[in-house]
Amino acid sequence: MSRFLPEYIANDERDVFLLFVKNKMRIAILIFIFVCLFFYIFLPFFPNVKINRDFILYVGILVVLQYVFTLFTQIFITELKPTNYMWANFIRAFFAVFVSVLLVYFGFGYLSLIIGAIASFLFSTIYSLFKIKFPKSKLKFTIDKDLLKKITYYSLPLSASAGLSFFLSYSNRFIINHFRSVEETGLFSLGYDFSQQTIGVFISIAATSAFPIAMKLFTEQGNTKTLHSHMNKSLLMIFFIALPIVIIFCATSVDLIHLVLGNKFSQLDVLFLPIISINAFILGIKSFYLDLFFYLKKETKFQMIILLVVTIINIALNLIFVPRYGYIAAVWCSLVTSTIAVVTTYFVTRKIIFIPIYFKPIMKIIISALCMLLVMKYFGNVSSIKWLAFKLISGVLVFLFMAVLLNKNMINYILKYFNRP
């Protein structure tokens, strides 16, 4: 959606592409319905399977609505319509909570959550449908074969890359569980997900609109200075938002283990959270910045090849070091392979499409982050949530102060603001 729709909009063929999406969506929904009915009809022939037949229907409806909703919101993102995107998600969240709580009150049990989710996607999908304004057409199940081939050649490597990313993320856990213990697997999983998801959320917030805007600029103007400026601003935003989170994990790892994760995880290595947070930051740069170059040039096969090589290296390193050193070795292996992935991706993308990186603004962010680290380290380890909050706030304020101090344009803007009549 994000890659092809801007091209059709630039050629004044938006309706052509959306008609393709509409017909493709119809076919996908028919397939979902067929699969759901198949399991619903043949489930009684498998008495050992303890699944409620009605539950299958509920899940089938939920999957269809979630698929359509995801497709519609991706159109909002691609067409740079944040207001529509915001309202669609607000409607979904509101009805999910409202309907679920209401049905729980009337005693519907676990079905309350499923029906609430169905209602949330239903109402938000209806809202999105009216806002997108698909071109009117007769009920057809035929699609543009040439466009389907283009999208397939583009998206198959992406699907393979997604599978490899999942395997790369979870292979460490299987190896730890096999060679070490369930306890070490639990320690690794909690710490990994805690830091990875936290930093990942902030990076995704910083880079949500980066690709649609880049695609629009690239489609309309090509590889110009305007595109260079946008991509560098996107990278700078990732550093500005995500790097302080990395510093927080590095400076408060002991505090987070004892005060947030609890005594059960007190045996977690103090280097674990800092290393895994740096790893998450590196992967974020690859996923939300460098990989965009593959999408712009439709060279997603290189992304897949790099991930395949990195996955093999990661598994090999884990098989060598995890049996002897445990879960902490898996963290170091992840950091090494992530670094290899980023460096390799950087040099490959330079051959595909050259977009210079402006390092000076990035260095200012790094200096600000180092000052933040020094201040937070000065506090040492704290013994209460209140002191942890004070430590975090102090670090963030120092980071913001240094970022403003090192930015002359920001200083001039502030001075003009306070000196105006």
Q: For residue range 299-346, what is the model confidence (pLDDT) as tens digits?
A: 888 888 888 888 889 889 989 988 888 888 888 888 899 899 899 988
**Rounded to whole angstroms, how far apart are CA atoms 293 and 349?**
6
What mean pLDDT comes out for the span 248-272? 76
Give yes or no for a contact between 287 and 281, defined as CB atoms under 8 angstroms apart: no
**Rounded to whole angstroms, how far apart are CA atoms 36 and 58?**
10
What mean pLDDT comes out for the span 69-74? 85
pLDDT in the model for residue 374: 92
The confidence band for 53, taking pLDDT boundaries of 50, 70 and 90, is confident
What mean pLDDT comes out for the span 91-97? 86
Distances (CA, A) of 410 to 183, 187, 240, 292: 50, 43, 14, 29
Please report where in the chains the tokens 């460490």 appear, as a residue: 172
Give yes or no for a contact between 315 and 175, defined as CB atoms under 8 angstroms apart: yes
Q: How far is CA 92 from the centre of its chain?
A: 19
Record the pTM: 0.76
Strands, DSSP E only, in 120-253? none
* Three-class secondary structure of residue 86 per DSSP: helix
pLDDT beyond 80 at 415: no
pLDDT beyond 60 at 368: yes
The two three-digit tokens of residue 125, written as one number: 């999908």
Burial of 182 (0-12, 13-18, 19+ CB in 10 A): exposed
Give yes or no for a contact between 142 and 22, defined as CB atoms under 8 angstroms apart: no
What mean pLDDT comes out for the span 277-299? 84
Please report where in the chains the tokens 């609890």 appear, as a residue: 262
Give yes or no for a contact between 96 and 125, defined as CB atoms under 8 angstroms apart: no
pLDDT in the model for residue 397: 92
pLDDT beyond 60 at 418: no
State pLDDT tens for residues 204-220: 776 776 777 777 787 77
- Mean of pLDDT over the chain: 80
State the helix-helix crossing angle for 385-405 and 359-378, rounded to 10 degrees: 150
- Type of residue numbered 84: N
**Rounded to whole angstroms, how far apart are CA atoms 66 and 76?**
15
pLDDT beyond 50 at 231: yes
Give yes or no for a contact between 188 and 176, defined as CB atoms under 8 angstroms apart: yes
Give yes or no for a contact between 207 and 288, defined as CB atoms under 8 angstroms apart: yes
CB atoms within 10 A of CB 219: 18
pLDDT in the model for residue 142: 63
Angle, vertex CA 337, rays to CA 331 and CA 338, nearest 5: 85
The confidence band for 417, taking pLDDT boundaries of 50, 70 and 90, is very low
What mean pLDDT comes out for the span 408-418? 55
The confidence band for 421, taking pLDDT boundaries of 50, 70 and 90, is very low
What mean pLDDT comes out for the span 25-29? 82
pLDDT in the model for residue 410: 55
CB atoms within 10 A of CB 286: 21
**Rounded to whole angstroms, how far apart are CA atoms 331 and 325?**
11
